[in-house]
Structure 1
């Protein structure tokens, strides 16, 4: 079977549910090796608080991570000043970013086959005086790539975004031929590379109601979206649209597609989260590495209670495993 996969798992905000979700994973046997990149005393304190019996083992590059129930491999990171649940401490912010840097750099070096991230708290990191807009942008800079794409996925649906965290008034101006072309090419390439889809079929949503109604409800489809899609089709990318977003998310269209490309955040993600919240996975495309994440936040009110649901993290790990295997297979085919 060969060497098992090794995935780095960052524990996220120390005051949130991330550390205990990592510990919950250790209670069951795993099909991939998980290395939690975190402060080991933090994990020990949270395990004691929750009454969990988990043996923590120091991990070093090249070692096979522990996969049996009750054991967890840990890459210890210094600098976590506070272990208190539910109470944010800006002093921990540099430590949180250090875990991301270690995991991402480890993937680039080949020490890990991919990384999975538990939630961080953007606000407290910025309160610490560190400019931070999210995992996606942090890893984009770390990996030195020009453009990344946010895609959320369940087992039944994949939705990628042309624009992400923008005010609605700024979305139209941001949908340029260059951005739409870059995002679409990345989506097509990474559906092949990370998901093993030979010729991805992509549905593209229009920006305006009824996809502009022939220009009567907006001209972005006519002036930007349709001409750009035509050029991309000429490159061999399979694209259907622009389609009205209110009817795109129906079986008639989804049954013949591998992914949906939405123009903005709240056009595509409410449908996906209604369909699979708690089981959805946030995926960053356009990176040279595998990166998946949970679909929820730090849940400070649940931290330390034992009521946190690890379903999304388990889905993110399962997705990370699948993507890492597809990437390995793709790389082997390229080398041969």
Structure 2
């Protein structure tokens, strides 16, 4: 079925159908839903080449993935984010361009995309301290949104992020309320912005409760299961071990649990664990009752929001930078309990 046939089937003009599928704000929401439902029913996909010729756009969104010795972005979280963003791109008739490049070729990839007009916008992943990509994309003039934030002027660019500082502050306060005074932080790489903010939240909560930051109970590494296991194993072997762990990923928390059980301790009774849970589609934190108490936020939903905001920025760039902060839920599971006496 082509656009003309779909429009005739709906009793609408081709222009209205096209605008509904491309997310134009002037289309009535009920009409938009009816058009999208009909397009899905008849397996209609817009002709990307025709759209490109008509609009002067490439009808593609770029994602540049650097090859690195650290794999903070090439993990299950990235897959779920792309899944959410891809839903929105497909609905609007956009393709996704993934470019995998060496770390030192990332700048060149952005400049090439801009010069060749191969994409209409860019999503920046894994923002770092003093991230140069924000200034670069402003220079080349490509619309972009950062998934996360960088410690630069937060009003000066578009981003979608989780309130990581507040999430870990709430988690630490919860452990303090349970009587824990010796808490370990197993953070992600603290060259990454999300990890910087999580540590800030952890330290702020300790200060609020008059508790010390204990350097021997702090680690910052790539978030793997073996990292959680080794770090927890070493800490639990100390004369005064931590009674609680605050962990930056569900995968790492599984390693902590392995170390806890290896020592014959029970999670939730002898040792408490709170982790961040990205609510991945195929990697769930238990069933109806979560295994781990967690700060929970959907990466797939972040992908959807990022894609919608970027397409809006492409359509109306004059509206300026757009920001969206997602609050994480603190969900109680089986992994936390009062500090042991």
Tell whether the structures are fold-level matches, with TM greater than 0.5. Answer: no
Q: Compare CA radii of gyration and give the structure with the larger one.
A: 2
TM-score by length of 2: 0.28
Choose between structure 1 and 2 for higher RCO, CA contacts under 8 A separated by at least 6 residues.
1
TM-score by length of 1: 0.28
